[in-house]
Amino acid sequence: MSGLSPILKQATPVLAERGEGVYLYAEDGRRYLDFTAGIGVTSTGHCHPRVVAAVQEQAAKLIHGQYTTVMHRPLLTLSERLGTVLPEGLDSLFFVNSGSEAVEAALRLARQATARPNVIVFHGSFHGRTIGAASMTTSATKFSAGFAPLMGGVVVSPFPTAYRYGWSEQEATRFALRELDYVLQTLTTPGEAAAFFVEPVLGEGGYVPANTEFMRGLRERADRHGILLVLDEVQTGFGRTGRFWGHDHFGVRPDVVITAKGLASGFPLSAIAAPAELMAKAWPGSQGGTYGGNAVACAAALATLEVVQSENLVANSAEMGARLREGLAKVAADTPAIGDVRGLGLMLASEFVDQDGNPDAAAAARVQQAASAAGLLLLTCGAAGNVVRMIPPLIVTAEQIDEGLALWREAV
Ligand code: PLP
């Protein structure tokens, strides 16, 4: 393929021609079970007929009506409908195009609203590749090495990564919260801390779920010190974890939610949601973007939400996630090289380790490649790249989970 940048390193050799449901079809005619879903994006499956119809209809009416110039119905209707699934009080939305852009929007808002300079992120975080978001990303050095200086004002505190610490969840959580208090006494004063940015499940950082004690600890400190709790639900939102939002598992109230990936079935759309009085603290002109809230992307998101609700995809994510997890645990029980199986809903992963329990990225890569050769598309993640993740479309059936598990066992 001449003319493409060599930095476009492809995880699989597939040249995709079309997609249908959980399957991708390559130009050479091969069929693949897609447990990558475009990195957790195509939750309604590839080319869901209702999404396709909504997009075709909207494209014939109005493709682009830039929202600071003219408003359009798809954006208004989508905002209204999202209001029914967002946490109470988060009644104001602002749309952009990608996860990174939405993180930047939340970062700008947090600093503007609090007039404080610092943000606290958690070790293993991934918030994106723009300079601000990359500066808040600690899951691997490849995301920020080589283009310093990064944005200042980022303070890193531990995440309860129990398996890597070799501790129980409770020990890891107590450590993370104690360390956070120490961070608030040393690396930043609470009066300088605008926001906590946290993923309900570390995504690129290795599919490590947070837990109720940790998230409530953040909420309590946020309330005590006037720090905003910003939940990066780019990967965990829209049913991916078996609840509508990842944070629904923990019963915490966010101040800001960031959503993208599963929102529009593959169309570039992302948003931040916050209380109107908080959002009003961003002054006009400081937030925006030419393509944000594109009319066709909004129509795709509306159809996506309808499909998620009418086809009970959140419940399916929980049910199929439990089935997949059980199967993965069985394979792990027969495979010493798989040290841990974890995740929530249909956001699951197996961590590959060597005999000493150290990350084994080569093993993960071999299995990922064997899987794609066998017809199952998978991705790796984690700081060392030793975690193989499964994020199938949320429409996946029990038969397709079993088909994926059979291919997984063969690849392992
Ligand atoms: N935040 C999280 C939690 C993510 O997982 C990602 C992407 O994987 C991003 C932000 C960045 O999103 P994008 O790649 O759309 O810029």
Q: Output the tens digit of pLDDT for each of the chain's 412 residues.
A: 568 888 888 888 899 999 999 999 999 999 999 999 999 999 999 999 999 999 999 999 999 999 989 999 999 999 999 999 999 999 999 999 999 999 999 999 999 999 999 999 999 999 999 999 999 999 988 998 999 899 999 999 999 999 999 999 999 999 999 999 999 999 889 999 999 999 999 999 999 999 999 999 999 999 999 999 999 999 999 999 999 999 999 999 999 999 999 999 999 999 999 999 999 999 888 898 999 999 999 999 999 999 999 999 999 999 999 999 999 999 999 999 999 999 999 999 999 999 999 999 999 999 999 999 999 999 999 999 999 999 999 999 999 999 999 999 999 9
b/e code 311-346 from CB counts within 10 Å (16+ = b): bebbebbbbbbebbbebbeebbeeeebbbbbbbbbb
Query: Which is the closest atom of ligand 1 to the Cα of 98?
Result: 15
Atom index in ligand 1 nearest the CA of residue 39 equals 8
What is the reported pLDDT for 109? 98
| Contact residues of ligand 1, CB 6 A cut-off | 39, 98-100, 103, 126-128, 199, 203-204, 232, 234-235, 260
Could you tell which of 107, 137, 159, 234 is best to mutate to test the pocket of ligand 1, judged by most ligand atoms within 8 Å of the CB?
234
- Which atom of ligand 1 lies nearest, measured to the CA of 99? 12
- The number of angstroms, rounded, from the C-alpha of 267 to the middle of its chain's C-alpha atoms is 15
Question: Ligand 1 centroid to 95 CA: how many Å?
Answer: 15
pLDDT value of position 185: 95
Q: CA 320, CA 331: separation in Å to the nearest integer?
A: 17
Q: Whose CA is nearest to atom 10 of ligand 1?
A: 127
Ligand 1 atom having least distance to the Cα of 235: 5
- Domain borders along the chain are 16-48+311-411, 50-310
What's the pLDDT score for residue 284? 83
Best of 41, 127, 241, 380 to mutate for ligand 1, by most ligand atoms within 8 A of CB? 127
Calculate how far, in angstroms, residue 100's C-alpha sits from the geometric centre of ligand 1. Answer: 6
Pair 195, 112: CB distance under 8 Å: no
- What dihedral do alpha carbons 84, 85, 88, 92 form, nearest 10°? -70
Structure tokens at 323: 């089935």
Q: Ligand 1 centre from 40 Cα, in Å? A: 10
> Residue written as tokens 């419940």?
315
Report how far ligand 1's centroid is from the alpha carbon of 235 (Å): 7
| Residue whose CA lies nearest to ligand 1 atom number 12 | 99
Please tell me the predicted confidence (pLDDT) of residue 198: 98
> Which atom of ligand 1 has the smallest separation from the CA of 232?
3
Provide CATH code, domain 16-48+311-411. Answer: 3.90.1150.10
CATH number of the structural domain 50-310: 3.40.640.10
Q: What is the 3-state secondary structure (H, E, C) of the chain?
A: CCCCCCCCCCCCCCCEEEEEECEEEECCCCEEEECCHHHHCCCCCECCHHHHHHHHHHHHHCCCCCCCCCCCHHHHHHHHHHHCCCCCCCCEEEEECCHHHHHHHHHHHHHHHHCCCEEEEECCCCCCCCHHHHHCCCCCHHHCCCCCCCCCCEEEECCCCHHHHCCCHHHHHHHHHHHHHHHHHHCCCHHHEEEEEECCEECCCCCEECCHHHHHHHHHHHHHHCCEEEEECCCCCCCCCCCCCHHHHCCCCCCEEEECHHHCCCCCCEEEEECHHHHCCCCCCCCCCCCCCCHHHHHHHHHHHHHHHHCCHHHHHHHHHHHHHHHHHHHHHCCCCEEEEEEECCEEEEEEECCCCCECHHHHHHHHHHHHHHCEECEEECCCCCEEEECCCCCCCHHHHHHHHHHHHHHC
Atom number, ligand 1, closest to the C-alpha of residue 268: 15
